[in-house]
Structures are given as C-alpha cells and as structure tokens.
Amino acid sequence: MALKVALLGCGVVGSEVVRQLARQADDLAARVGAPLELAGVAVRRPGRVRLPEVDPALFTTDAAALAVRDDVDIVVEVIGGIEPARTLLLDAVKAGKSVVTANKALLAEDGATLFAAAQATGADIYYEASVAGAIPLLRPLRESLAGDRVERVLGIVNGTTNYILDRMDAHGSGFSEALEQAQALGYAEADPTADIEGFDAAAKAAILAGLAFHTRVTAADVHREGITEVSAADIASAKAMGCVVKLLAICQRSPDGSSVGVRVHPAMLPREHPLAGVREAYNAVFVEAASAGRLMFYGAGAGGAPTASAVLGDLVAVARNRLAGARGPEETTYAGLPVHPMGDSVTRYHVALDVADRPGVLATVAESFARNDVSIKNVRQEGHGDDAQLVIVTHMAADAALAATVDDLRRLSTVRSVASVMRVEALADG
C-alpha cells in the first residue's frame, strides 16, 4: 500500500521535491518498499504554481487541514519561518504523522516543543535539509559520531553570504548586485535579511551545536554578526594578508569542557585554509572529534535541487521507519551544557587603525594591547603621513579582552579611527 505524503509549501525547494518524487517514483518505491504518493500540496496562491507533475486537484490553500488528514502518513514542510509552520508541524506530529522539514529557523527557535510532541506520539522528525542543504551532516553527527566526543564544529553554512563574499573577492562585485544574483539562483531566504545578518547561519549553528554537544541550544544563545558591515576595504585588507573573508559558524567546547561557545561572524581565513577555497554557494563544515580527528563535509548548501535531495533522503528514511513500525533516534540533550558568553570565546584578531605617522605611535598602540593582555603576532604599516594605517594581527585572545583593547585604542589621540576589526581563524595558532 502506498504511503501518502502531504507537501506544505511549493516554492524553490517544494517544487523540486515534487519533480524528484515524480521522476524517481519507481526507484523510491523500490527503496522504501512501498510507493510514495502525493496526498496534497499546500500553497498560498494555487494559480501561481505551474507543475505538470501535480494533478491540479491536489493543490489546496488549507495547509492546516492537509497536515492532519487521516489518509496522510508523512508531512513535508518547506514553507519556512516560525508561523504557521510551527502550528502545522505540531498538529501533524500530535496526529502521529512523520515529519520532514527544512526549516532551521523553526527548529532553532522552538525545536524543543516539536521534539517533545514527537516523543509523546512516537513520530519521526527528520531535518537534514535544514543545515548545509544537500550535505549529509546532521545524520552523521547524530548517528555516525554517536560513539565519539565532538570537540568543535566549524564551517560555512550559508550559501547566500558565501556567494556574496566570493563575488566581492573574486569578481569585485558590489554587495547588492551579488545578493540579487543569489536571490535569482534560489539560494536566499524569502527575506534575505536572514542570510546577510547571520540569522540563518545562527539557526544552523544552534542545530549543529545541539547535536554535537547533546545540549539544547537555541538561536538566541548564538552570538551573531552578519556580513553587512564587511566592506570592500576589509576584503582588500584580507587579500593583502593572503586571506579571504568568510562567514563562519563555530561551535566549540570550552578548554575545560564545562561549557560551549556558539558564534557566527565574518572572519579572515588564510588562503591555504581548506575553507578558503569554498566558492560560490557551496558549504563546508569541519567536525573535530576526539577519536575521529578532523572530518570535512563539503557540497551544495543551497538551491532547489540539492536541498530537495536532502528532503527526499529524509522522506525515504521516515517512510522506511513507518513501514517497519520503527522510529529514528531521538535528540539527546542529556549533557545540558551552558552556552558561555561571546566575551569568553578565544580567537585571533586583525585590527586596522588609521593613525598619525609619527614617532611613538606604535608604542602607545602596543601598550593598549599589552594592558589588556592581548599578545601581538605581527604589525605592518601601510601608507605614510595622514594616510598611515597600522595593521595588527594578534595571537589567541579572549573576545572580551580584544573588545577592551579596541575601546582603549579609540581613546588614543594618536589613533584617528579603528578602521576594521575582524577575527582570524586558522587551523592552529602560529
């Protein structure tokens, strides 16, 4: 007997899910052990969706009714955002439906409620597409690495911002032009503020940290900075240092293991760093585990077809579970580790200062760093006279110490302005 699938949302990802379901119907049926049949497709404006693969009678604007209909076994949610997606999925789970979703915003805001409801009814919630699109990452973290101790997860998890930064770096494109291209290619969120201000990456970081450290982490716990402040000058400065600028998500245990840090911000990476070569809308994530060592996951992080691949992989998995009367592994949050404040995070920094080119300037600047316990790795001067700029790279320092140093520097009469402050991530301190 066929398993009936309700599709909620039919935009970039949803329409590709429909196409793949139709194209691969026989193979999917063979893999699952039963055909997967669309029970209905919930859309906002039916007249605007042109999909010859779908019987027009299957379109509905009543997502709420479709999600709990008796004949529906599996609900696939690709609407996005918090509401109505949360209510739709909660009702579906309470009605015993298996759920597949790509909605990281919802999972990072209120995954706990959904998972608790799923536990109560024994329903599956799978969400591989929600982080790093097509890349199998969540199931490896949840299942393959369940016997190891993950120490750090670091990566590029937003395709839109990687596309923009890559275009600015490699083609000299302007920010708005590159964003428009990313939107046209189907990479951006419905409101691209979610991408460029780092909300999307922060939601993904929360999901990754939760799985990696067996701890409940929400988007609100994540330190978030987007890329709107990254200027062409920052990118040029990075280039001069042999670096590129990337938006990174970093989830890390504290050295004593008693807390975790979860942050999203632009950072400079040396060009030889494996993440520096991640171009266009690709994503890549390092997972560092005690026994496995360093693993790297790379692939298409955004776009209709790649994301549909992850959705269909989950669909097959929950369908198989359903037929077997089984359930996928649950979220484990037993560790309950606190998320430490950004000030306690430790990394290196690149600081560019517009200064007066006169004797003693370097000494006053160096004193500010020393006073705050931030050790300087190297200093270089660019320009002379009124155009002089000091570019300083530090060794590892706490974020709070660097912030205090920058406050100090702003008060120095010899420093005209702090032109740029950016974190520098490398594989090892040097």
Ligand X SMILES: NC(=O)C1=CN([C@@H]2O[C@H](COP(=O)(O)OP(=O)(O)OC[C@H]3O[C@@H](n4cnc5c(N)ncnc54)[C@H](O)[C@@H]3O)[C@@H](O)[C@H]2O)C=CC1
Q: How far is the CB of 388 from ligand LTNE7NMQ (least distance, A)?
A: 39
* 148/180 with CB nearer ligand LTNE7NMQ: 180
- 389 CB burial (10 A radius; 0-12, 13-18, 19+): buried
Q: How many helices (H) and strands (E) does the chain have?
A: 14, 17
Q: Could you tell me the smallest distance in angstroms from the CB atom of residue 311 to ligand X?
A: 8
Residue 195 interacting entry, from ligand X, ligand LTNE7NMQ, Na ion, none, C-beta within 5 to 8 Å by type: ligand LTNE7NMQ
Cα first-last separation, the chain: 61
Which of ligand LTNE7NMQ, ligand X, Na ion, none binds 244 (CB below 5-8 Å, type-dependent)?
Answer: none
Q: How many CB atoms lie within 10 A of CB 386?
A: 10
- Could you say whether residue 189 binds ligand LTNE7NMQ (CB under 6 A)? yes
From Na ion, ligand LTNE7NMQ, ligand X, none, which one binds at residue 9 (CB under 5 to 8 Å depending on kind)? ligand X
> Where do contacts with ligand X occur on this chain (CB under 6 A)?
8-14, 42-44, 63, 78-80, 84, 102-104, 129-130, 133, 186-187, 189-190, 302-303, 307
- Per partner kind, with CB cut-offs from 5 to 8 A, the member of Na ion, ligand LTNE7NMQ, ligand X, none near residue 43 is ligand X
Half-sphere exposure of 112 (CA within 13 A, CB side): 11
Q: Least separation, in Å, of the C-beta of 299 and Na ion?
A: 8
Structure tokens that stand for 2 in this block: 């066929």
For the question of residue 204 being annotated catalytic, the response is yes
Tell me the three state secondary structure of residue 299: strand
Q: Look up tokens 């119907």; give the residue.
A: 25
Q: Among residues 268 and 308, whose Cβ is nearest to ligand X?
A: 308
DSSP state of 339: B
Residue number of the CB closest to ligand X reads 11
The pattern of x and - marking residues 276 through 315 that bind ligand LTNE7NMQ according to CB under 6 A reads: -------------------------xx-------------
Contact 347, 400 (CB under 8 A): no
Choose the catalytic residue: 94, 204, 246, 377: 204
Q: Find, among 420, 361, 422, the residue nearest to 386 by Cα.
A: 361
251 is in an annotated binding site: no
CB 404, min distance to ligand X, A: 37
From the list 125-133, 179-187, 212-220, 334-342, the region that binds Na ion by CB under 5 A is 125-133
Question: Which among 19-27, 133-141, 211-219, 343-351 is the span making contact with Na ion, rule CB under 5 A?
Answer: 133-141
DSSP letters spanning 30-46: HHHTS-EEEEEEE-S-G
Q: What letter represents residue 226's amino acid?
A: G
Q: Is 99 annotated as a binding residue?
A: no
Give the shortest CB-200-to-ligand LTNE7NMQ separation in angstroms: 5
On whether the CB atoms of residues 272 and 243 are closer than 8 A, the answer is: no
Is 11 annotated among the ligand-binding residues? yes
Residues in Cβ contact with 239 at an 8 Å cutoff, skipping those fewer than 6 apart: 169
Sign of the alpha-carbon dihedral angle for 215, 278, 312, 41: positive
Entry field: residues in the chain? 430
Six token digits for residue 51? 């999909």
Q: Across-strand partners of 41?
A: 7, 59
Choices 99-107, 122-130, 192-200, 322-330 (CB under 5 A): range interacting with Na ion: 122-130
Q: Tell me how crowded residue 96 is: count the other CB atoms within 10 A of its CB.
A: 13
Quick check: 135 binds Na ion (CB under 5 A)? yes
Sequence ranges of the binding site for NADPH: 104
Sequence ranges of the binding site: 8-15, 104, 189
Give the residue numbers annotated as catalytic, written as ranges: 204
- Enumerate binding residues for Na ion (CB under 5 A): 128, 132, 135, 137, 310
